[in-house]
């Protein structure tokens, strides 16, 4: 049995709501001697006393909520709001209390009596308060993130402006040094080297991933292919005879060492530099498509059946890789 029960008394057919503590059985219940505050007694679930009168009854509906039980009683249309006592006193036959009760459904259809607004439960209000509090926290966090983004944006813009200024400075440095064409003769090479002091810019210009490629870029920057072919590391051939101009100890060798200090190969050993200089100078004949040119000339002479002597071809001195000097 639920907390509140709507019963109809057999004698007089009057109905009212009682608490389950007043029910003796499903067909009998107690009723207080003084029913002036019976509604409050029912809501507060006051325990029945032995001196209360006992009435025969039948259960119409029941609920754990007083208001819900009252609404059910109206819905079933079993309640009688007559004020007649049928020859009995009010203490013997109780009448239904209609104060603050939920009205019948038919009055909701009248424009003068709109449907009452449902009251929000306490739990719903608490949940709504918690949701508002969490939304305020989220709003604060979003505001902090936006401020951080704005601050980082300013920092990034400053960094980009600084990088741009550095690039402009580097570009100005690269354009300040006097550009020159590779020398095709000893006189032109001497004129370039005598007036040359911009080792840093040349070092940045010739810097490559490998030391040999960096040395080759330096040679091609200062000498054309025909002039480079006249140099070897020691200037001596395979029979230790002077066949070319020595690169070792020359003014161009000194400039190369100074330019390498401004490249990623500044820590390279002297022997590594020497070995790569030998390799680069021995392969100077292959610059600017020289290898394909020599191969084409050789193929043409072979097809004509002519004898090809060593004096008719450009000599490729490979012994420089093992030059002991």
Q: What is the pLDDT of residues 187-233, one digit of tens each?
A: 999 988 888 888 888 998 899 999 999 999 999 999 999 999 999 99
Q: Tell me how far apart the alpha carbons of residues 149 and 155 are, in angstroms, rounded to a whole number.
A: 10
Q: Are residues 139 and 260 in the same domain?
A: no
User: Highest mean pLDDT: which of 96-100, 171-175, 239-243?
Assistant: 239-243
In a domain, 28, yes or no: yes
Give the start-end residues of each E strand in 123-241.
Answer: 231-232
Q: Are residues 172 and 278 in the same domain?
A: no
In a domain, 14, yes or no: yes
In a domain, 194, yes or no: yes
Q: Are residues 60 and 23 in the same domain?
A: yes
In a domain, 139, yes or no: yes
Q: Is residue 308 scored above 70 in pLDDT?
A: no
Tell me what the mean pLDDT of segment 282-310 comes to: 68
Q: Are residues 82 and 131 in the same domain?
A: no
Q: Are residues 290 and 232 in the same domain?
A: yes
| pLDDT band per the 50, 70, 90 thresholds, residue 129 | confident
Sole residue written with tokens 């020398």: 183
In a domain, 296, yes or no: yes
Cβ atoms of 48 and 5 closer than 8 Å: no
In sequence order, what DSSP letters do the residues of 278-296 get, joined into one string? HHHHHTGGGGGGHHHHHHH
Q: Are residues 157 and 268 in the same domain?
A: no
CATH code: domain of residue 272:
1.10.10
Q: Are residues 213 and 166 in the same domain?
A: no
E strand or H helix that includes residue 19 = strand 15-19
In a domain, 52, yes or no: yes
Q: Are residues 230 and 308 in the same domain?
A: yes
Cβ atoms of 235 and 243 closer than 8 Å: yes
Tell me what the mean pLDDT of segment 241-265 comes to: 91
pTM over 0.75: no
Q: Are residues 32 and 79 in the same domain?
A: yes
* Arithmetic mean of pLDDT over the chain: 77
The lowest-confidence range among 11-20, 135-144, 265-274 is 11-20
Tell me what the mean pLDDT of segment 306-322 comes to: 40
Q: Are residues 190 and 298 in the same domain?
A: yes
In a domain, 115, yes or no: no
pLDDT of residue 76: 65
The lowest-confidence range among 22-31, 89-98, 116-125, 198-207 is 89-98
The lowest-confidence range among 74-83, 247-256, 281-290 is 74-83
From 109, 136, 168, give the residue that closes a domain: 109
| pLDDT band per the 50, 70, 90 thresholds, residue 79 | very low
In a domain, 96, yes or no: yes
Q: Are residues 276 and 168 in the same domain?
A: no
Q: Is residue 280 scored above 90 in pLDDT?
A: yes
The lowest-confidence range among 43-47, 76-80, 268-272, 290-294 is 76-80
Bridge-based pairing state of the strands 28-31 and 15-19: unpaired
User: Highest mean pLDDT: which of 16-25, 69-78, 163-172, 310-319?
Assistant: 16-25
| pLDDT band per the 50, 70, 90 thresholds, residue 106 | very low
Q: Is residue 132 scored above 70 in pLDDT?
A: yes
From 148, 176, 204, give the residue that closes a domain: 176
Q: Are residues 234 and 127 in the same domain?
A: no
Q: Domain range holding 155? A: 120-176
The lowest-confidence range among 194-198, 200-204, 264-268, 316-320 is 316-320
E strand or H helix that includes residue 18 = strand 15-19
Domain tally, the chain: 3
| pLDDT band per the 50, 70, 90 thresholds, residue 275 | very high
Dihedral sign for Cα 14, 17, 21, 26, please: positive
Encoded tokens for 6: 């709507």
């Amino acid at each position: 049995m639920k907390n509140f029960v709507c019963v109809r008394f057999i004698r007089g057919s009057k109905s009212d709501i009682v608490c389950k503590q007043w029910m003796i059985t499903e067909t009998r219940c107690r009723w207080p001697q003084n029913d002036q505050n019976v509604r409050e007694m029912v809501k507060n679930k006051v325990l029945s006393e032995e001196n209360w009168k006992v009435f025969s009854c039948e259960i119409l509906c029941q609920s754990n909520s007083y208001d819900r039980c009252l609404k059910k009683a109206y819905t079933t249309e079993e309640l009688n709001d007559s004020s007649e006592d049928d020859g009995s006193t009010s203490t013997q036959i109780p009448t239904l209390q209609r104060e603050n009760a939920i009205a019948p459904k038919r009055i909701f259809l009248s424009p003068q009596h709109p449907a009452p607004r449902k009251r929000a439960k306490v739990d719903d209000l608490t949940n709504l308060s918690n949701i508002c509090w969490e939304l305020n926290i989220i709003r604060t966090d979003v505001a902090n993130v936006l401020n951080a983004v704005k601050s980082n944006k300013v920092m990034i813009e400053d960094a980009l402006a600084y990088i741009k200024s550095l690039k402009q400075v580097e570009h100005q440095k690269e354009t300040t040094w006097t550009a020159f064409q590779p020398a095709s003769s000893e006189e032109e090479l001497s004129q370039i080297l005598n007036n040359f002091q911009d080792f840093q810019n040349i070092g940045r210009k010739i810097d490559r991933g490998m030391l040999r490629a960096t040395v080759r870029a330096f040679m091609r920057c200062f000498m054309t292919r025909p002039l480079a072919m006249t140099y070897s590391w020691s200037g001596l051939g395979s029979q230790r005879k002077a066949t070319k101009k020595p690169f070792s100890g020359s003014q161009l060798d000194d400039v190369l060492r100074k330019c390498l200090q401004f490249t990623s190969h500044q820590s390279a050993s002297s022997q590594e530099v020497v070995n790569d200089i030998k390799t680069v100078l021995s392969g100077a004949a292959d610059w600017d498509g020289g290898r394909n040119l020599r191969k084409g000339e050789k193929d043409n002479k072979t097809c004509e059946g002519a004898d090809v002597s060593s004096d008719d071809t450009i000599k490729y001195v490979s012994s420089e890789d093992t030059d002991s000097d």
